[in-house]
Structure 1
């Protein structure tokens, strides 16, 4: 058996060292890839529910209200009191702001992540006793008990919502539409401009439309 020279031993050690170093780098690369991938998945899991549209009859994406929109909403509700409902309450900022102004405020939101966040935010700001947030589809809720209604809607849903609110609300109620007006109702007041515009509708006014329609139907039937 031939003896290994000092040169052979050095070469063999170098090969094993290089192999070990390469294996370590490979494992380190796999770990780094897993960490980055896991972080991206976690980030999507946390932020995805806040920015993605909830599954609704009509797609209503979460777009936070601006400070100017908040000011416009409560400027047109000045002097009002009682109950307030935010339809599609998002992160709860309208409901929380309403509670701070003395309203008994409620939010309905289909996205559970946003509802949980809203409840935490209300607790943190000390208004959890005068606010309520519910995970619910707006089409399955009756709004008959509310005297103030706020909606950040999209054009595709406003016509359907007109019919629902016309039927359910009391004549003393007031509706504030943000970003988009209702298609057939005539607003009693308008505040702001551009994306911050709000349209105000008195239920007494738009409920007259139902009576007028019924009267017209009766007249048509009597003429036939």
Structure 2
């Protein structure tokens, strides 16, 4: 009996942390990007010099870590405290402290104007709202790289194996 109660509590905790909270805050569930998709995102970013990247809904930090390994400052925004902790452990394990940063914060409340590269792996219903936010905040010359999902109004400048690249000069501010 106690085992069943513990299992139900664990299932309920999982559902709350990884499904209900993300959806209620207009974001995606925790669905980590595949290694090949992360590699493609880094490749199509065409990283230059001292750029700064941000991953919106950074999950376990794998995209942030991949960009930091390429030598740029990489930030992630994540609302799930367990994933924030896991990301910080992963960053420390990779020896990227001071290059990779995870913020326990909703990306909806973050100012994105300082970032040169924004990466996203969101769901369809979030992309419309996100398109409006990014249009208002993104600086000239910045890129947005989306894993699998497209923005409703923007035209991508590049598409490779499920990864879309949008460049700031190709879309107007809202």
Specify if TM > 0.5.
yes
Q: Which residue does the alignment assign to 2:136?
A: 167
Q: Which has the higher contact order (CA 8 A, sep 6+)?
A: 2
Aligned to 1:62: 30
Query: What TM-score results when the alignment is normalised by the length of structure 1?
Result: 0.70
Larger mean CA deviation between 109-118 and 71-80 belongs to 71-80
CA contact (8 A) 2:27 2:57 kept: no
Answer yes or no: is 1:203 the counterpart of 2:172: no
Q: How do 1:1-224 residues align onto structure 2 when only pairs under 5 Å count? A: 33-34=1-2, 36-37=3-4, 40=7, 43-44=10-11, 51-55=18-22, 56-81=24-49, 82-192=51-161, 197-206=162-171, 209-210=172-173
Provide the C-alpha distance between the structure 2 equivalents of 1:80 and 1:47, rounded to a whole number of angstroms.
39
- Whether the aligned pair in 1 keeps the contact of 2:78 and 2:103 (CA below 8 Å) is yes
CA drift of 1:137 comes to 1.6
Change in CA separation of 1:51 and 1:106 when aligned onto 2, cut-off 3 Å: same
C-alpha distance after superposition, 1:57-97 (max 9, x if no partner): 31411101001211210110134341000000011100011
Structure with the higher fraction of residues in helix conformation: 1
Corresponding residue pairs, total: 172
The higher radius of gyration belongs to 1
Unaligned runs of 5+ in 2: none
CA 1:38–1:127: 2 relative to 1, 3 Å: farther
SS at match of 2:131: helix
The CA distance in 2 between the partners of 1:53 and 1:122, in whole Å, is 27
Cα distance change, pair 123–44 in 1 and its aligned pair in 2 (3 A): farther
Distance across 2 between alignment mates of 1:79 and 1:114: 26
Separation in 2 of the partners of 1:89 and 1:49?
A: 18
Query: What is the root-mean-square deviation in Å for CA atoms of aligned residues?
Result: 2.1
